[in-house]
Amino acid sequence: MIRHRDIEQLQQLSQAPGKTLTVYLDVDQTNAANRKRQFETHLKDMLKQLRAAHPDDDELTLTCDEAEEILRTIEPTGKTLVLARHRGLGVTFRKVIRIALPSFSYWSHGAFLRPLLEALDEHERFGIVLVDQKRARLLTVFLGDIEEHRDLISQVPPRPDSPTSDKLRSQSRMERHHDESVSAHVRTVAAEIARLLDQLEVDRLIIGGNVGVASELARALPKRLRGRLVEVLPIPVTATTDDILARASEVQTRIERAEELEIVRDLLKEVRKGGRAVAGLAATLEAINEGRVWKLVYLQGAAIEGGVCHACHMLFDPADERCPVCGGNLQREPHLVDRMARAVLDRGGHVEMVDGPAAEALRAVTEVAALMHS
C-alpha cells in the first residue's frame, strides 16, 4: 500500500540534486501483452527512446541499465510499477500499485511525481466499517489496497430467549439492557469512525455487517460525516479482507464509472457545439503540441502508433514522415498515447483513461479526445 512515508520518499527524490530516472510501467497481468514478463520488453523500448533523446548522457545509460536489472526482481502483483532511481545517491523507490497509469519514462532533475499525485487525488480513500451487535472492524481501501486499523469488541449481554409467563418483567429489563448496550456500542463505533476518518483523511464511507445495526450506525454518524456515506452493504463482519476489498472495489468502480461517463458526456457536448473540446487523433495532437490541453481523455487499452520529433518534441500522426514544424525526421513512436499523456502531464494538465459505459460513448466518436483550458 502507498503510505505517506512513500510519498515523502518520492518528494525527497523530487528535490534531490542531480537527475532521477522515473518510470511508470504497465505490468497488469490481465493484459495479454504483459504476460511471460513481456513488460520487460516494453521497458527496454521506452528506455531506448529515452537514451536516444539524450545520446551523450552516460549517467542515464548506467541508470537505465540498473532499472532493467531492478525490473527483473519485480513481481507484477498489481497494474502499474512506479520506479524512481537516483544513481548518484544510491536511492531507489519501487512500488507496484493496483491502479492503471500511463506507461512512460522520464529523466529529469527530481522524480516526476505528477501522475502518481494525480492518482492519489482522483482515487479517493474509502473507509469501511463492518459492525454487528458486539463487534466492529474499521478498514480503509486506497489505490486498490486494503488495510485494517481497528477491531472493536464491546461487552454486550446476549438478548434473552423467549421467557416463561412468570419471567416477563425480568425479560423486559434484560431486553432493555441488551438494546441499551448495543446502542452504546454503536455510539462508541461512530465516535471511533469520526476520529479515524479525520486522521486518515478518508473521502467516502461504506458501512456493512448486521443490517439493523449498520442502519443504526448510519443514523448515529455525526452530521459532517453523513455526506461521505455512499452505501450500506450486507457484508458479514467476519468477511475476509479479500472479500471486503472485492465488495468495496465494486462500489468504487461504480462511482468511478459514473464520474467518467459524466466527463465524456460533457466533453462530447463541447465537441458538438464547437466549444472547448476536440476529438480525434489529429485535432488532439495539434492541441497537445500547442499546449492547450487541460484534460486528455482516451480509451483504456488504446493502441495508437505515431511519430515524435526529438528536435522540437512535437507529436504527429503516423502518416507524417518529417516534422511539419522544424523539418526534422520523425522517429516512430509505438506507444503514442503514453507520449501524449506524458506531454499533457508535463505541462500541468490531467489525464483520464475511461472504461465501461464512458468508453462506449467515447468509442462511438473517437479513441482520444481532449478538453481545452478555459
4-122 is a CATH 3.30.960 domain:
yes
The set of cell numbers assigned to 209 is 455487517
Mean pLDDT in order along the chain per 10 residues (374 residues)? 66 77 94 93 94 92 96 93 92 88 86 74 83 92 86 71 54 73 88 85 90 92 90 92 91 88 96 95 94 92 84 80 80 81 83 90 96 90
What pLDDT score does 253 carry? 84
What pLDDT score does 269 carry? 96
What pLDDT score does 3 carry? 63
Strand partners, 352: 297
What pLDDT score does 42 carry? 95
CA–CA gap between residue 185 and residue 191 (Å, rounded)? 10
CA–CA gap between residue 31 and residue 83 (Å, rounded)? 20
Q: Which CATH class name applies to 126-239?
A: alpha beta
What pLDDT score does 338 carry? 78
Spatial CA neighbour of 343 closest among 302, 294, 304, 279: 294
Buried b (16+ CB within 10 A) or exposed e, 251-262: bbeeebbeebbe
CA–CA gap between residue 71 and residue 94 (Å, rounded)? 9
What pLDDT score does 311 carry? 79
The set of cell numbers assigned to 81 is 510499477
Range 257-372: architecture per CATH = 2-Layer Sandwich (3.30)
Q: Using an 8 Å Cβ cutoff, are 260 and 358 in contact?
A: yes
- The DSSP output letter for 207 is E
- The DSSP output letter for 134 is S
CA torsion angle 244 250 252 257 (round to 10): 170
Strand partners, 83: 23, 94
Strand partners, 216: none
- Same fold for the domain at 4-122 and the one at 257-372? no
What would the 3-class secondary structure string for 19-36 be?
Answer: EEEEEEEECCCCCHHHHH
Q: Give the start-to-end residue ranges of the domains of the chain.
A: 4-122, 126-239, 257-372
First to last CA, the chain: 36
Pinpoint the alpha helices (H) of the chain: 4-14, 39-53, 58-71, 114-122, 168-200, 211-220, 223-226, 241-272, 281-289, 336-346, 356-363
Supply φ then ψ for residue 200, to 5 degrees. Answer: -95, 0
